[in-house]
Amino acid sequence: MSLPPFHLGPIQFDQPIWLLIAIPMWALAIWIGRSSLSGMGTASRRVALVVRLLVILLLLGAVARPQWRQEADTVVVSVVLDQSKSVPLALQSRAKAYLEEAAAASAQKGDQQAAVTVAREAYVRALPTTPGAMSDTEQIGDRDGTNLAEGLRLAMAVMPKTAANTALIISDFNETAGDLMAAAQAARAAGLKINVLPLRYKNDREVELERLVAPATARMGETVNLRVLLSATRPTSGRLNVLIDGEPIKLDPDASFTGMDVSLIAGMNPLTIPVVMSRGGAVKFEAVFDPIPEADNKLGDTIAENNRGEAISFVSGQGRVLVLGSSTEEAAPLVKALNDARIQTELRDLDQAPRSLVELGAYDAVVLLNASAYRFSQQQQEDLRTYVHDLGGGMVMIGGPDSFGAGGWIGSPLADALPIKLDPPQKRQMPRGALVLMMHSCEMPNGNYWGKQTALAAVKNLSAQDLVGVVEYGWQSGGAEWVWELQEVGSRAGVNRAISNMNYGDAPSFDAFMRLAIPALEKANAGLKHAIIISDGDPQAPSPALIGRYRAAKVTVSTVLVFPHYMGASGPDFSTMRDIAEQTGGNYYQITEDNQLKSLPEIFIKEAQTVRRALIWEGKPFNPSAANVATDAMRGIPLPVPPITGYIVTAEREGLSQVSLRGVENDPILASWQYGLGKSVAFTSDATNRWCAAWLRWPSYRAFWEQHVRWAMRPNASADVRVATEDRGDSTRIVIEALDPGSGERLNFLRFRGRVVDPDGGAESVELRQTGPGRYEGQFKSDRSGSYVLSYRYDIPAAEGTPAREGTVQAAVTRPFADEFRALEDNSALAQQIATLTGGRVLSGDPKADDLWTRNGLVMPVSLTSIWLWFAAIAIGTFLVDVAVRRVRIDLPAMALAIKRGLSARREKKAGQQLASLHEARQRAQQSIAQRSAEQASGGSPRADEPAAPMDPSVRTAKFEASADELAAARKSGPAGAMGTQAPDTRPAPGQPQKPKDKAAEEEGINRLLKAKKRAQDQMEQD
């Protein structure tokens, strides 16, 4: 049996049934008390019984789960403000002004407001605070999307439980991600009312390029039809341009321009454009519509972002290989060998390396020839790894002094794709490098952040056996100090942690850094010693003696000058740091603009390579030993291979990596393996006459490189495989049809292994299932704008007369613009549904009439604080009193009577003290009067030359004046003389003992004195 909570003032009992049990418990306690308390007095027995009943009530109250109940009186409005690009800026500004005016109009004292901004992602911009202007509402992330559901969930998360809460959504309600209705259902379940303010608009002048459709795959020389779908809200005209790989093509042979003029009707306008596939690989198509001003001098288009469409087709043809090298002359022998082997090869400089996965996907293999890591951005390095692992491309890395570990690839994303470890083995005895980083205060944007990032980048590109140290000028110590003393890099965890805890100071001179670091560098057992200084150039130049010490120890110093201070009219002083670098044989860099900051980590990576030269082995010519020549790439290659004179020292990788050639101390020279969907090859020597002069004269030079490059290349499809993609909202469906090229029969039970790479570089596996004869389907999410590249590798099982084969298939899906730019008007219907579902209101936009902080319809929350412990503590104390009353036999009435008597005695004592003081004052007054009377009787007033008798202080401070009744009583108390005469003085003569007076008369006199004193006090208070 359960009862509803019971309220007793601010106290609430959640289980009041325990309070009902108190009645029978009390009856039982009274019945037992009749016998157990019979030996006590009546009053004590009653007191003991009352205490016992109170103990029972308190214990049952504690069990009844008492709560201290407090009801809130404030309202918090959590605002979800749409900041996406689909909402016109004018409406966004109007919404902010509306919130400010509404706060001034209806917010009461104590009310609060929270703010959440929404676009592609939602961010909390203000926790509950005083309502008013929203000063910081600029969206942080991308604005090409709207996720109102996430914004509502965040708003609910910041709502306090100690106030009444409402939510306000200000938006056009065109959501592109999430499900606002589902989030509103959760809000309704939580009892939250959602008010909505639709931002209403309608674009009646709009042209949208709905889609550009191109075949996913095609053959070289084939003519394909591009379909352009244009949607217009009203008849308009414009010019359509089509580009292939960025180059515009001529669509109208009679026109002088490359595009063609089109006239659009209201609605959908499909256009077909034939195009000849003139080359193989990935071909990118772009279609752009440019509106022409109409008669009213206005464009027939409002949103420019949705006037562009993209599509990609993969054209099958002869395999293509991209060679990336720092020197055309150095790459010439390899390129010639590949061309002679009928492999279509394209040579590019490292600065012209592809900058997207789509561009990389046009090649079946990429060859890096003596390529340094610092020539590639971090994103390009990640794209190369993804190209191999997820797109099935081939990677061949060939050595040189700027390649592998010596080229800064240690710790890079591409290092994971190589079949060798770039760090040398621990047991390998070889010269190592020593690097000291001297970090000085950098007064530039985010100076501390960039300082730490540069140091971390340098450490990341050192080998585990190298030595590293970090020096900074500390604020607290006031001098240069080791953040990390010069020692082996090891696992990098310790030095990285030390760098992250740095707190840069401003040093007066470079001497402080360089003098601290040079002893450790002089003692270091390293083949190459290097230091890097990053500073704003403020410190004074080091002494010539210190520079000479660095030169004597063969320590090179590179300097990086960042945002130097201006020294008068002559501008900033670059000479100090430039001189340090020139005098020690280092490099000098300067950063003076914000757009150069991103190059800082690359500078440190490049400088860290200075100590990595120790990874290069050079010596007398030797023939690499054959380790595993059973691989497909080495099949038919004559042994032994020609001698080499140098290579980059690396370590063998465990697992499926196969090492075919080895150097001194068993170092890997040639290794290969399968990485994800692709393959990679590593050759740690070079392909030129630097280390492999004998190879250039070797008859099998061409065969060696042809076989290894072809082994790594992505295989061509051996069956007639066609792939198609179908747009399904936020997802894309893949359909692959496999046919045997000879018989035309459908190929069943193929096993596909593939992944899709999204525009952000992330990859995920996409499973294909056979849905019909030779038909395979899959689906993946494609809600972001950009290109999605798919790559599949498949196996064809052996059949009668045909061996097992493998092939690849590629496709790309492009979303040129986000769905955010497809909205032409607001979705006020959704706003109405949200308000109706949760019991909220559709606001009018009038700040005063809407009354955002109204209390109507809101249930004020009640906060409950458990107080059962207080009940239990009081019950324990009362129980001790109960024990004392029953066992100690305390007579409470007697105790009360004793206390009363004590208080009475205290009052009597105080009254006695007052009477004694009055008696003493009366005696002093009588003596003073008698003295004056004697002086008058002896001769009148005292002489002028005699001082007057001092007046008693008690007489001066109080003024006693008798009333008429008192005078009459005084006359009756003794014999009176004739009128105008004084009654005879009955006092004894001086020196004689005073006769005792009547006690009644004395008390009467005291009473008169008390009354006179009271009158005097009253008079003084009035004065």
Q: What is the pLDDT of residues 858-883, one digit of tens each?
A: 878 777 788 888 888 888 888 888 77
Give the whole-angstrom CA distance, residue 383 versus residue 387: 6
746: DSSP letter: B
pLDDT of residue 949: 45
Q: In the structure encoding, which two tokens stand for residue 1021, read together?
A: 């208070």
The residue-averaged pLDDT of 225-247 equals: 89
112-118 β-sheet, strand order = 122-129, 112-118, 75-82, 164-171, 193-198
| Local confidence band at 647 (pLDDT 50, 70, 90 cut-offs) | very high
618: DSSP letter: E
pLDDT of residue 54: 87
pLDDT of residue 567: 45
Contact 433, 530 (CB under 8 A): yes
pLDDT: is 826 or 975 the higher one? 826
Question: In this structure, which amino acid lies at residue 1017?
Answer: Q
Question: In this structure, which amino acid lies at residue 385?
Answer: R
CA dihedral 16, 17, 18, 21 (to 10 degrees): 130
Measured between its terminal Cα atoms, the distance across the chain in Å is 75
Length of the chain: 1023
Neighbour-count burial for 948-976, b at 16+ CB within 10 Å, e otherwise: eeeeeeeeeebeeeeeeeeeeeeeeeeee
pLDDT of residue 946: 47
Mean pLDDT check: name the lowest of 494-503, 602-611, 637-646. 602-611
Q: Which of 738, 818, 744 has its CA nearest to residue 770? A: 738
pLDDT of residue 180: 92
| Local confidence band at 730 (pLDDT 50, 70, 90 cut-offs) | confident
Give the whole-angstrom CA distance, residue 561 versus residue 552: 25
Whether residue 977 is predicted with pLDDT greater than 50 in this model: the reply is no
SS3 321: strand
Q: In the structure encoding, which two tokens stand for residue 623, read together?
A: 């023939």
| Local confidence band at 2 (pLDDT 50, 70, 90 cut-offs) | low
Q: In the structure encoding, which two tokens stand for residue 956, read together?
A: 């001066």
Percent of the chain with pLDDT over 70: 81
| Local confidence band at 961 (pLDDT 50, 70, 90 cut-offs) | very low
467-473 β-sheet, strand order = 480-488, 467-473, 433-439, 528-535, 555-562, 588-591
Most confident of 648-662, 783-797, 849-863: 648-662
786-796 β-sheet, strand order = 763-765, 751-757, 786-796, 805-815
Give the whole-angstrom CA distance, residue 191 versus residue 169: 16
pLDDT of residue 893: 65
∠ CA 810-814-816, nearest 5°, is 160
The residue-averaged pLDDT of 104-112 equals: 87
Question: In this structure, which amino acid lies at residue 428?
Answer: R
pLDDT of residue 429: 62
pLDDT of residue 936: 63
Q: In the structure encoding, which two tokens stand for residue 118, read together?
A: 């929404």
pLDDT of residue 927: 80
Q: Which of 616, 708, 716 has its CA nearest to residue 367? A: 708
Question: In this structure, which amino acid lies at residue 1016?
Answer: A
Question: In this structure, which amino acid lies at residue 195?
Answer: N
Q: In the structure encoding, which two tokens stand for residue 710, read together?
A: 């072809």
Give the whole-angstrom CA distance, residue 807 versus residue 797: 11
Q: Which of 2, 6, 1, 14 has its CA nearest to residue 867? A: 14
Concatenated DSSP letters of 757-782: E-TTS-EEE---EEEETTEEEEEEE-
| Local confidence band at 135 (pLDDT 50, 70, 90 cut-offs) | low
Contact 171, 83 (CB under 8 A): no
Give the whole-angstrom CA distance, residue 187 versus residue 838: 7
Q: Which of 125, 130, 134 has its CA nearest to residue 111? A: 130
SS3 408: coil
Look up the pTM and report it.
0.57
The residue-averaged pLDDT of 167-188 equals: 91
Q: In the structure encoding, which two tokens stand for residue 712, read together?
A: 């790594």
| HSE toward the beta carbon, residue 371, CA cutoff 13 A | 28
- Please name every residue paired with 231 in a beta bridge, in sequence order, or none if there are none: 208, 268
Whether residue 122 is predicted with pLDDT greater than 50 in this model: the reply is yes
pLDDT of residue 546: 93
Whether residue 563 is predicted with pLDDT greater than 90 in this model: the reply is no
| Local confidence band at 708 (pLDDT 50, 70, 90 cut-offs) | very high
Percent of the chain with pLDDT over 90: 21
Contact 467, 614 (CB under 8 A): no
Q: Which of 381, 446, 466 has its CA nearest to residue 417? A: 381
| Local confidence band at 717 (pLDDT 50, 70, 90 cut-offs) | low
∠ CA 626-627-629, nearest 5°, is 75
pLDDT of residue 129: 86
Cis peptide before 640 (omega within 30 of 0): yes
Contact 504, 538 (CB under 8 A): no
| Local confidence band at 958 (pLDDT 50, 70, 90 cut-offs) | very low
Contact 374, 749 (CB under 8 A): no
The residue-averaged pLDDT of 444-451 equals: 62
**Beta pairing class for 651-652 and 320-325:** unpaired
502, 504, 510, 992, 1016 from 476: Cα distances, Å:
12, 10, 18, 95, 76
Please, which residues have CB within 8 angstroms of residue 1008's CB and are 6 or more apart in sequence? Answer: 962, 966
Burial tier of 25 (Cβ tally within 10 Å: 0-12, 13-18, 19+): middle
pLDDT of residue 475: 63
CB count, 10 Å around CB of 849?
Answer: 11
pLDDT of residue 945: 46
Give the whole-angstrom CA distance, residue 58 versus residue 36: 22
| Local confidence band at 935 (pLDDT 50, 70, 90 cut-offs) | low
pLDDT of residue 64: 84
Whether residue 430 is predicted with pLDDT greater than 70 in this model: the reply is no
Whether residue 419 is predicted with pLDDT greater than 90 in this model: the reply is yes
Mean pLDDT check: name the lowest of 423-432, 527-536, 687-696, 828-837. 423-432
Phi-psi sector, 845: left (phi>0), alpha (psi -120 to 50), beta:
left
pLDDT of residue 358: 80
Most confident of 488-492, 516-520, 886-890: 516-520
